[in-house]
A and B are shown apart, each in its own frame.
Chain A
Amino acid sequence: MSFREKIHWVTLVTMAAAFGWYFLAYPWQVADGPAGVWATAGLLVPVTIAIIVAMTVATAFLAIRNRAEVDIREDERDRGFHMRGTHYAYYPLVVGIWVSIFLVFWGVGQAQQLNMMIATLVLAELVRIGTQLYLYRRGY
């Protein structure tokens, strides 16, 4: 497995774990009130710190173990995977933002809207990274 692929795996697992915890730990009983917005802010702080720390430690560890590959620039195939993954992730993002706009008119609370947007961002990023990993694995 190449260095780049390992980094993608780390990103995928870190994001899935961090935001999985966020959505499980979120106090949904207060999601309809103003406290829900502050609960989101409060939970996003540890999530962001956890992602930064985990990514930094894992990338440093993998870079030390794969010194030969660290300085290799992205080749045509890597760029192709990157474009393809980003292309597929664009659509969930567009759909998510449309859904969020409709939720504004539906009278959904601010905190629920906020969580909907966060879920969309996370889903789009998981699609982007997941597509790239799929293409690396499949050997496209």
Chain B
Amino acid sequence: MNFREKTAWLNVIAMVAAYALYFGLLLSGHPAGREVFPMLWLFGSIATAHAVTVIVGTVILSAQAPKPERARADERDRAIRRRGAAMGYYVLLVGMMVVGVYMPFVERGVPLANAGLFAIVAAELVNSVVVLMSYRRGWHG
């Protein structure tokens, strides 16, 4: 498994762990689902932990990887990245329509913000999973 594939795994695992915890807590009735400050506090803590995990993990993976693997992204890496973002775009587009065009008629405040966060997380997750699957399946653009 090469360096870029390992970082794709790291992204997917860190994201699933962090946001499963966040949205799991919301579903179990945490005040972050209703009030601004608990939401900012919980989301801020989890997003920071997620970012630190990804940064530290990437540094460790980078230090362990042989130099040729750390070279700049080649044509295939760029094509895979574009493919991931393209798939994520459609997820986010649908999410944005639900959150931005339908939900303002029926919701407001924190639930709306959480729905927006869910749309971003879902899109980023699809993006990362597509990148990972493309490396696994040997997709080459």
A residues in contact (CB < 8 Å) with B: 37, 41, 44, 80, 82-84, 86-87, 89-90, 93-94, 96-98, 100-101, 104-105, 110-111, 113-114, 116-118, 120-121, 124, 128
Let me know if B99 and A117 touch, CB within 8 A: yes
Let me know if A104 and B112 touch, CB within 8 A: yes
In the complex, what residue of chain A is closest to B105 when comparing beta carbons?
Answer: A37
Residues of A within 8 A of B108 (CB): 104, 110
Residues of B within 8 A of A37 (CB): 104-105
A-B contact count (CB 8 A): 88
Return A78 CB to nearest CB of chain B, in Å. 13
Residues of B within 8 A of A84 (CB): 82
Residues of A within 8 A of B81 (CB): 87
In the complex, what residue of chain B is closest to A119 when comparing beta carbons?
Answer: B100
- Residue-wise, chain B 97-108 has the 8 Å CB interface mask toward A (1 for contact) of 101110011001
Let me know if A83 and B36 touch, CB within 8 A: no
Within 8 A of A (CB), among B63-112: 79, 81-83, 85-86, 88-90, 92-93, 95-97, 99-101, 104-105, 108-110, 112
Q: What total of chain B residues lie within 8 Å of the partner, measured CB to CB?
A: 33
- Contacts A90-B88, A113-B112 supplied; 12 other A-B pairs, CB < 8 Å: A44-B101, A87-B81, A90-B86, A97-B99, A97-B119, A101-B113, A101-B117, A105-B113, A110-B104, A118-B100, A121-B97, A121-B101
A100 to B116, CA, bound (A): 8
Residues of A within 8 A of B141 (CB): 80
Find B89's partner among A41, A80, A93 (CB 8 Å cutoff). A93
Given A86-B86, A89-B89, A90-B85, are A121 and B117 also a contact pair (CB < 8 Å)? no
Let me know if B96 and A87 touch, CB within 8 A: no
A97 to B115, CA, bound (A): 10
Let me know if A86 and B104 touch, CB within 8 A: no
Most buried by B among A98, A101, A105: A101
A128 to B85, CA, bound (A): 12
In the complex, what residue of chain B is closest to A113 when comparing beta carbons?
Answer: B104
A87 to B99, CA, bound (A): 21
A80 to B120, CA, bound (A): 24
